[in-house]
Amino acid sequence: MTAASADSAVQDLRGCLGRFATGVAVVTFDGLADGRVKRHGLTINSFTSVSLDPPLVLVAIQRSVRAHALLAGRPFAVNVLAAEQRDLAVHFAGRPNAEPGWVEGHHAPRLAGTASWFECTPWAEHDGGDHTLFLGKVERFDLRPGPCLGFADGTFFTLPDSPKLTGGQF
């Protein structure tokens, strides 16, 4: 296989995977950078529930992003974005815009106004090829009513509101 055909195959695979609609989330955490603790966040769409007992979630983070190494062994929050938070998705995907509103969590910093959030402590890390699969134990969580931000085929869209649940902690 030539390099050009390999690149084409990767783009074709990316296009096929992009057909699967996902929600949009931002992983946030405090990490050491330049010798001091700094706030970090990165937009993801690779987020899933793994277990209810114990309560575990998984985020897949590409190894080539700068924040990847900073996340290892750190508590983190997964912030599921509300439909009106497209600017936050873009901001944490590498196109900074207005400074986000932060909430001091018990385990990790969170973003203000999200559709739901999960504060996690580190559980395990696994090799996932060009990604690392970070598993977190959910320590606290909550949600608010309203539609969520979705993503498919390279486009953001609105996911309608779902039946109401209650948040809490374990």
pLDDT bin (cut points 50, 70, 90) of residue 113 is very high
Residue 6 lies in a domain: no
pLDDT in tens, 127-165: 999 999 999 999 999 999 999 999 988 889 998 886 655
Residue 77 lies in a domain: yes
Residue 11 lies in a domain: no
pLDDT at 32 (0 to 100): 79
- Residue 154 has which token pair? 């390279």
pLDDT at 40 (0 to 100): 92
Domain carrying residue 97: 22-153
Residue 121 lies in a domain: yes
pLDDT in tens, 24-56: 999 999 987 778 888 999 999 889 999 999 999
Residue 161 lies in a domain: no
Strand partners, 150: 23, 157
Residue 94 lies in a domain: yes
CATH number of the domain encompassing residue 128? 2.30.110.10
Report percent pLDDT > 90 for the chain. 64
Domain count, the chain: 1
pLDDT at 141 (0 to 100): 97
Residue 8 lies in a domain: no
pLDDT in tens, 54-77: 999 999 999 998 888 899 999 999
Residue 4 lies in a domain: no
pLDDT at 18 (0 to 100): 63
